[in-house]
Amino acid sequence: MSDENTKPAANVAPLRKAVSCPICKRPSAREHYPFCSNRCRDVDLNRWLSGSYAIPVADDERKADEDEI
């Protein structure tokens, strides 16, 4: 039963996981983990501070006409 303990951690995922930014889905940067940049981190923070996840973003203007739920 001690097989697992003697084996090297070959199956374990590397420390550097590919995490995508929760805001724009780009690969996150180490300095801004889990976000890709300071801006996205700010956007996320503002969302929480404003109490809703519907903060006006520049991108939203284009989608205003679409019925995206």
Interface residues with Zn ion (CB under 5 A) are: 21, 23-24, 26, 36, 40
Least distance (Å) between residue 25 CB and Zn ion: 7
Reference 36, options 22, 53, 56; nearest CA is: 22
Least distance (Å) between residue 59 CB and Zn ion: 12
* Closer residue to Zn ion in complex, CB, 7/30: 30
Residue 35 near residue 21, CB atoms below 8 Å: yes
d(CA 26, CA 10): 28
Least distance (Å) between residue 1 CB and Zn ion: 45
